Amino acid sequence: MTREEFIEDLRNRVRESFAMELETATPNELFVAIGQIVRACYAKSWHNTRQRYLVNKQRQSYYFSIEFLPGRMLKSNLMSLGLLDMVRSTVEELGFEFEEVLNVENDMALGNGGLGRLASCFLDCLASRELPGNGNGIRYDYGLFKQQFVDGYQVELPDAWLKSGNVWEVRRESEAVEVRFGGNVYMQPTKDGKLKPVAENERILRAIPYDTGVVGYHNDTVNTLRLWSVEVPESEEGKYRSIEERRMVEDLTAVLYPDDSNEQGRLTRLSQEYFFVSAGIQSIVRYYKKLKMPISRINEYVAIHINDTHPALCIPEMMRILLDEFDLSWEKSWGLTVSMMSYTNHTIMQEALEKWPLQMVKYHLPRMFQIIEEIDRRFVTNLTGLYPDDLIQRTRIIQGDQIHMANLCIIGSHSTNGVAKLHSDLLKSVVLHDFYVLYPERFNNKTNGITQRRWLQQANEPLANLIDKTIGTSWRKEPTDMERLMNYCEDNEVLVAFEQAKQQNKLALAKYIEKTTNIKVQPNAIFDVQIKRLHAYKRQLLNLMHILKCYFDLKDNPEMDFVPRVWIFGAKAAPSYTYAKAIIKAINEVANLINHDPIINDRMKVVFLENYNVSLAERIIPAADVSEQISLATKEASGTSNMKLMSNGAITVATMDGANVEIRAAVGDENIYTFGLTEEEVYRYYEQGNYSAQAIYDQDPVIQRVLNAFVDGTIPNIQREGQEIFDSLLRYNDEFFLLKDFVPYCQVQAKLSQDYLNREKWQKMSLINTAKSGIFSADYTVQRYADDIWQIAPVDLHKEKRN
């Protein structure tokens, strides 16, 4: 598309869609019109990709995830199509601010955090590698809540992201399917003496797919993210007469992860899980029928991935279709199902392992329940005599009145993977050890990755351009080529240029901070960043304790040498997680205290940015000097913000947890600040039960002062929250060992501050972090999934031509 064609198209679309002239358009109209143009640009490739897959009978993978977190799509689509520079300059020439146009777009925030973002990074990489892989999820009417701080407290506001339309999606009426809930299922004998399930009084809902194109980077591949929305089918209209009744139905896809602290919320969640799973599996089977292949070979054409346990019902739903709709035997259906399914575990936290009350599943999903019961029965029967009874009881799916979804996933799939080496090892040795005894060949590791296209090329153009200038552009397609930057570690000119790029990003963030919070920060201070969901195990509180220590040091000795630092937080807490919310309040109050203390004189600033999401992450990450990755060892499955920050040249302060271990191996000990308990030490404490937070407190006056600040009025306005935090550390014995790790944490922080003064040394460390980050590209991660688990490959275009 030439510049002239673009302007003409834009002019026409603004006129047609808004009855306006381009000259009078605002960024809102411009955004929609450019979005339409972009969509039109990839429409043909999207169609062709689907045709190519169909004609070639391509084996495809389907990534089932209850969350996707793509963020904004205008800039990334423009970049993938190679149109970014032309469109940007043209829009600016027309007298608009391109940034403002981009800012019109609502984040597509259909996820909570790492798990949902990983799903979106994977889709980007699949398309960019020309791999036939699609997403399947839920089109929530409301994304993750918008976070506001009122008086330092988190307040949740609805995120009506669809209010002004969504230019990227296509509603596919003709591909709607029905999903059935409730009713009774009984077995009826057929003429040939078999038993067939017959259902009555089911509630039928219509699942309508909305497809979004996932545009590959500089190639012609456009894969599909299919999100399902619920509707009342016409045939059922009569059953839902009142508005309340209809609303009950429509609630199903209304909000992401409804509060699960009450029964109604939990039931909605279970229904969501079945809804998108059943719709997705039915649509896969319907597509497969178009290939005109026997159902007995479906596993040669389909790979289904279960992202955490939320889509676990893929397993019984596939069984249902093969058994009930295709009349296959149990054994044949089971063989096909297991060979199609694979599962990723994202946590070792016991409380996060999903279980459903048996009665709830039995009542609301009766056929699913029957099938799960039969899977469980056969599992127990087949293993009895071969393995100890207690092992069988620990690994079976139904235990007491609960259904264990992770057990279902492992038993019903051919592959179970963790998301970092340490995590996968812990799955084998501790968390899922019993299963490892049963199925050692099913376990494998796939360390997470990120897409540098969004997190470096797009978010950090100053750095990306500099990398191009230094080593050429090949890294944009082959991220490990960034390793070539290692040749410039001692090159002062290059180091200075990198420092300038960072400074430019810090300046931009400083502006944003001032605009949104009124806090002025100095761009030459250390920008120290912790961005992730707020959770006790991630230990934002440890960071806050260190901040308090620095504050007291300065108060005691205002003349001391102190390297200025800006601590930047971004985090949402689950609406029902009161402890996490208490920490947010405490951080905000400490910020208030320090930012206004004249003695501190701007040497410390604490900034908690509201509403952390993908687009805010894109602003923060390029400007970070320091990346806080300080979860208690063994608790963070992998982490991915660690990889994004590293790629942007931030230096990691890290515990030996999750993928931090692999980051250290990549950059070397001298280019990362590690501290804290190791995995072995943590487990030793668990075994020996001899951790005493009180004893540590009693012996350390600094810790006493820091902790007392939460309850003695030093930090104002946190009476209740301060007490809760204080008690969690002392009365409840500090579940995540903050007190034990506090001193070593402060030590590495002090060293870091000193090193920061040595600009050459720091800049070299920073460069090395970027140089070594290529291996954490999700391009390689998905390639490993493609090779080892899904067995999918790009269409061989040459073969296609030969044929």
Q: Which residues are catalytic?
A: 346, 532-533, 538, 640, 644
Quick one: which segment of 108-116, 594-602, 643-651, 778-786 binds ligand BZD (CB under 6 A)?
108-116
The residue (of 311 and 649) whose beta carbon lies closer to ligand BZD is 311
Q: Does 112 bind ligand BZD (CB under 6 A)?
A: yes
3-state SS class at 668: coil
Of the candidates 682, 423, 422, 432, the residue with the CA atom closest to the CA atom of residue 539: 682
- Which amino acid appears at position 350 of this protein? Q
Q: Does 442 bind ligand BZD (CB under 6 A)?
A: no
Q: In the stretch 20-59, what mask flags binding to ligand BZD with x, by CB under 6 A? A: ----------------------------------------
Q: Does 707 bind ligand BZD (CB under 6 A)?
A: no
Which position has the token pair 């073969």?
799
- Which amino acid appears at position 466 of this protein? L
Three-state SS letters, 425-461: HHHHHHHCHHHHHHCHHHEEECCCCECHHHHHHHCCH
The residue (of 589 and 636) whose beta carbon lies closer to ligand BZD is 636
Question: Long-range contacts for 7-15 (Cβ within 8 Å, ≥24 apart)?
Answer: 7/90, 7/94, 9/37, 10/34, 10/37, 13/37
Quick one: which segment of 28-36, 106-114, 278-286, 684-692 binds ligand BZD (CB under 6 A)?
106-114
Q: Does 422 bind ligand BZD (CB under 6 A)?
A: no
Q: Does 213 bind ligand BZD (CB under 6 A)?
A: no
The Cβ of residue 578 has, within 10 Å, a number of other Cβ atoms equal to 12
Helices 701-708, 540-556: crossing angle, 10 deg rounding: 110
Q: Does 479 bind ligand BZD (CB under 6 A)?
A: no
The residue count for binding ligand BZD (CB under 6 A) is: 17
Could you tell me the smallest distance in angstroms from the CB atom of residue 425 to ligand BZD?
A: 15
Quick one: which segment of 22-30, 91-99, 109-117, 463-471 binds ligand BZD (CB under 6 A)?
109-117
Q: Does 444 bind ligand BZD (CB under 6 A)?
A: no
Distances (CA, A) of 320 to 19, 216, 277, 407: 52, 35, 12, 19
- Rounded to whole angstroms, the Cα distance separating 149 from 155 reads 6
Quick one: which segment of 27-35, 112-120, 153-161, 195-203 binds ligand BZD (CB under 6 A)?
112-120
Could you tell me the smallest distance in angstroms from the CB atom of residue 354 to ligand BZD?
A: 8
Could you tell me the smallest distance in angstroms from the CB atom of residue 353 to ligand BZD?
A: 9
Distances (CA, A) of 45 to 215, 220, 221, 301, 795: 9, 6, 6, 22, 14
Tokens of 35: 């979005």
Quick one: which segment of 182-190, 514-522, 638-646, 751-759 binds ligand BZD (CB under 6 A)?
638-646
- Rounded to whole angstroms, the Cα distance separating 445 from 309 reads 17
Which position has the token pair 């509603």?
171
- Radius of gyration over every alpha carbon of the chain, rounded to an integer in angstroms: 27
Could you tell me the smallest distance in angstroms from the CB atom of residue 349 to ligand BZD?
A: 8
Could you tell me the smallest distance in angstroms from the CB atom of residue 649 to ligand BZD?
A: 21
Q: Does 419 bind ligand BZD (CB under 6 A)?
A: yes
Question: Following DSSP, what letter does each residue of 686-708 receive, concatenated?
Answer: HHHT---HHHHHHH-HHHHHHHH
The residue (of 70 and 113) whose beta carbon lies closer to ligand BZD is 113
Q: In the stretch 247-266, what mask flags binding to ligand BZD with x, by CB under 6 A? A: ----------x---------
Q: In the stretch 338-357, what mask flags binding to ligand BZD with x, by CB under 6 A? A: --------xx----x-----
When CB distances to ligand BZD are compared, the closest residue is 114
Could you tell me the smallest distance in angstroms from the CB atom of residue 247 to ligand BZD?
A: 24
The residue (of 419 and 621) whose beta carbon lies closer to ligand BZD is 419
| Member of 107, 169, 483, 636 binding ligand BZD (CB under 6 A) | 636
Instruction: Show the beta-strand stretches assigned E in 543-649.
Output: 565-570, 604-609, 626-629
Contact positions vs ligand BZD (CB under 6 A):
112-115, 118, 257, 346-347, 352, 419, 448, 636-640, 658
